[in-house]
Every structure is written in C-alpha cells, then in structure tokens.
C-alpha cells in the first residue's frame, strides 16, 4: 500500500511529462499522430541530402528543439527555485521575485538589442553575470536575515527597476521587437532551434554536478545558521555557493527562453506538496522534473491556446502561478 502511494506521484509526473511531450511534438499545423512521430524524427535526424517530408522538417527542426529547450530550461529553473528557497529559507523567494531573473534577462537583452559583439555562445555568461548582479543587489539591500515579506518587497523594488531598464533598452531599439519584449519580460520559446539548444546544453551539463554538490549544503542550511555553526558548518559560505549555482541555472536559460516566469516558484511548491515529509534532497529532483513538466505544458498552451497567434509562455505560467501562490499564502495565514 505505502509503496503504491509513494510511486503514484512519480507515475503521474512521468505520465504528464510524456503526454505533454507527445502533444508538443504532434499538435499544431501539420497535425502528427503519435505513432508517426518516431519515424518522422528518425527521418529528420537522418540529415541532409535525402528528400524529406514537411512533417519531418517541422517536427525535427522546430518542435523537437523547442521541446528539448522547454525540458532543459524548465528543469533548470525549477531546481534553481528550490535552491533559492532553501538557501534563503523563504518559500516566496522565487527567481523572478528577487531580481535574479530580471537581472539575467536585462543582461542578455542588452547584448541582443544593442547588438554588442558578444558571440551567441557566450550569452549564457552574460545571463549569469546579470543574474548574479540582480540577486546580489537584492540580497545586499534586503540583508539575509529579514522576514520573507521584507525580502520580497525589496526584491520587487529591484526587479521593477531592472524591468524598467529592460523596457528602456527595448524602447531605444530601432524598431520595437515584440518577440524580444515578451521573451525577456516573461519568457517565451518562440523560434528556438537546435543552435540555441547547443548553446545552453553545455552550461546545464556543467551545472548538474554543481547542483549535486549543493545537496549536503542544503541539509546544513536547513538547520539554521546558529545550529549549523555549532556543528562546525560554514552556513554563510554554503549559502553563497547555493545561491551562485542557482544564478548559474537561471542565467544560462535566460538567453534562449527569458526568465520563464513563475516556473521557479511553482515547481518547488508542487514538489513540496507531493512529498510533504521529505527534505531538500528529495525535493530537488522532483522540483526539476515538475519544472520541466510545467514549462512543457505552459508552452503547449502558449502555442495552441490562441492559435494561430503564439502567446508568451510566461503569461500562462503567471496565470497559473498567481492563484497557486495566493492559495499558499491563504493556507499559511489560516
């Protein structure tokens, strides 16, 4: 009985992920049946030269890279959200609420809009620098030990200032490019191809072992600063390391997808609900998996809900994330 109950969330998550992935590959114009997908992907990946059908081009060149980016980006932001929340011991410390996302988006947007001579492959570095700067600004202003609401307020102020700068950068561009606006304001996967996947994937690969290294630190931080110090741990240093890793995760995703608003908030929250008695170590993989699931589902909505118009993914996650956040607040105060 207990094993069934423990396995159920895993099965549901896998089922949701698989279903959303098949839908993401199949839905749209042209509509592709699930059983035809493997053949089309194989046909598309077989490469140049051979005459290929329209379906296989669409699936291989457009939908698959988008799906892969959504999975990678969602997992990265979901994990980053959990790391931030645990490191600051603040359930409201989502990347978009403490300046990390806006900083990353601003840095990348400056590179793109002003056509700075930064190679595409180094955009994740710019994003990382922006994320670290935004987060550091916020935390320095808020000081670490203060209450969630105070950190949140200062985070909102810093984020608002960063977003205002972002809008200013976009408004002095030659021509207002709405897709750029949406991507960097809330997050969008419009027009992602294999190139962008290639730029992001190595950074995620670097980040995975670093995230694994964070796990013991999370256990330490959970004790609280005094207890950690009493046990000989260096809480401040551990916290800094965890924050740096989460900035890396958010920063490398910001280039192709923007901030992916609210994914870093929703995923850890769902993970905690699924494993109410767990701890950070157990939540981390869940948070990554759920982040990927949320992103894929939201991107599906973004692509198909107002067909043929594409909407930004981040708008849908905001519409889902805010009511959930409100419910969490209501439960906590009740």
Partner 1 sequence: MSPARAVLRWAGVVTGLLAVAAAHLLARGGADPATAAEALLGDRSGLDHRIVAELGAPRLVTALLTGAALGVAGLVLQTALRNPLAAPEFTGVNPGAVLGILAGLQSGLVPADSAGGALAAALAGGAAGGLVTWVIAGRSDAGGLVVAGLLGGALLAGFTTLLLAYQPSRFGNALRWLIGSVEGRVWEHLAHGWWWVCGWTLLAWAGAAALGVLSGGDEHAASLGLNPRVARALLLGAAIALSAGAASLAGAVSFVGLVVPHAARWASGGDPRRGVPLAALLGAGAVTLADAVAQVATRLLADGGAAHRLGVPTGVVTALAGAAVLVTVARRSRHLPG
| Contact footprint for partner 1 (CB under 8 A) | 92, 97, 141-143, 146-154, 156-158, 160-161, 163-165, 167-168, 170-176, 178, 181-182, 185-186, 261-262, 306, 309-312, 314-319, 321-323, 325-326, 329-330, 333
Closer CB to partner 1, residue 26 or residue 264?
264
CB of 290 to partner 1, least distance (A): 20
CB of 265 to partner 1, least distance (A): 10
Distance CA 321, CA 263 (A): 8
Closer CB to partner 1, residue 98 or residue 217?
98
**Is the separation of the CB atoms in 183 and 190 below 8 Å?**
yes
CB of 284 to partner 1, least distance (A): 25
Angle (CA) 113-117-123 rounded to 5° is 70
Closer CB to partner 1, residue 74 or residue 124?
74
Closer CB to partner 1, residue 231 or residue 329?
329
CB of 245 to partner 1, least distance (A): 25
Q: What is the DSSP letter of 34?
A: G
Cα–Cα distances in angstroms (integers) from residue 13 to residues 127, 164, 269, in the given order: 30, 37, 14
Using DSSP's 3-state secondary structure scheme, residue 275 falls into: coil
Using DSSP's 3-state secondary structure scheme, residue 141 falls into: helix
CB of 334 to partner 1, least distance (A): 9
Closer CB to partner 1, residue 56 or residue 188?
188
Closer CB to partner 1, residue 125 or residue 180?
180
Closer CB to partner 1, residue 87 or residue 284?
87
Closer CB to partner 1, residue 15 or residue 141?
141
CB of 88 to partner 1, least distance (A): 13
Q: What is the DSSP letter of 231?
A: T
Closer CB to partner 1, residue 45 or residue 147?
147
Angle (CA) 33-35-36 rounded to 5° is 70
Distance CA 204, CA 251 (A): 10
Question: Which of 124, 122, 134, 254 shows the shortest CA–CA distance to 185?
Answer: 254
CB of 132 to partner 1, least distance (A): 18
CB of 162 to partner 1, least distance (A): 9
Cα–Cα distances in angstroms (integers) from residue 120 to residues 124, 129, 187, 262, in the given order: 8, 15, 18, 26
DSSP symbols for 111-126: HHHTT-S--GGGHHHH
CB of 178 to partner 1, least distance (A): 4
**b/e per residue 68-87 (b: at least 16 CB within 10 A):** bbbbbbbbbbbbbbbbbbbb
Does 142 sit behind a cis peptide bond, omega within 30 degrees of 0 on the bond before it? no
**Which tokens belong to 306?**
């107002």
Given its phi and psi angles, is residue 174 left (phi above 0), alpha (psi -120 to 50 degrees) or beta? Answer: alpha
Using DSSP's 3-state secondary structure scheme, residue 73 falls into: helix
């Amino acid at each position: 009985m207990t094993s069934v109950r423990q396995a159920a969330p895993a099965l549901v998550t896998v089922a949701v992920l698989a279903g959303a992935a098949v839908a993401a590959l199949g839905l749209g114009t042209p509509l592709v049946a699930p059983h035809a997908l493997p053949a089309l992907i194989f046909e598309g990946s077989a490469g140049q030269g051979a005459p290929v059908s329209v379906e296989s081009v669409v699936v291989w060149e457009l939908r698959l890279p988008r799906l892969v980016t959504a999975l990678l980006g969602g997992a990265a932001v979901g994990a980053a959200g959990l790391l931030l929340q645990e490191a600051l011991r603040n359930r409201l410390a989502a990347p978009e609420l403490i300046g990390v996302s806006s900083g990353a988006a601003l840095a990348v947007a400056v590179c793109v809009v002003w056509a700075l001579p930064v190679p595409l492959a180094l955009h994740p570095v710019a994003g990382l620098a922006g994320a670290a700067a935004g987060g550091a600004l916020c935390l320095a202003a808020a000081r670490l030990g203060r209450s969630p609401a105070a950190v949140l307020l200062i985070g909102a102020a810093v984020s608002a200032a960063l977003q205002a700068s972002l809008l200013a950068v976009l408004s002095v561009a030659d021509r207002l490019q709405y897709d750029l606006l949406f991507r960097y304001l809330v997050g969008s996967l419009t027009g992602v191809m294999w190139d962008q996947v290639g730029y992001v994937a190595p950074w995620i690969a670097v980040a995975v072992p670093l995230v694994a290294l964070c796990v013991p630190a999370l256990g330490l931080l959970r004790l609280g600063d005094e207890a950690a110090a009493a046990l000989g741990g260096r809480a401040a240093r551990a916290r800094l390391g965890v924050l740096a890793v989460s900035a890396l995760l958010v920063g490398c995703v910001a280039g192709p997808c923007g901030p992916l608003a609210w994914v870093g908030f929703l995923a850890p929250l769902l993970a905690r609900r699924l494993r109410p008695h767990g701890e950070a170590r157990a939540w981390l993989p869940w948070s990554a998996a759920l982040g990927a699931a949320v992103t894929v589902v939201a991107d599906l909505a973004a692509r198909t809900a107002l067909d043929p118009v594409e909407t930004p993914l981040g708008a849908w996650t905001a519409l889902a994330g805010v009511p959930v956040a409100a419910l969490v607040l209501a439960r906590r105060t009740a």
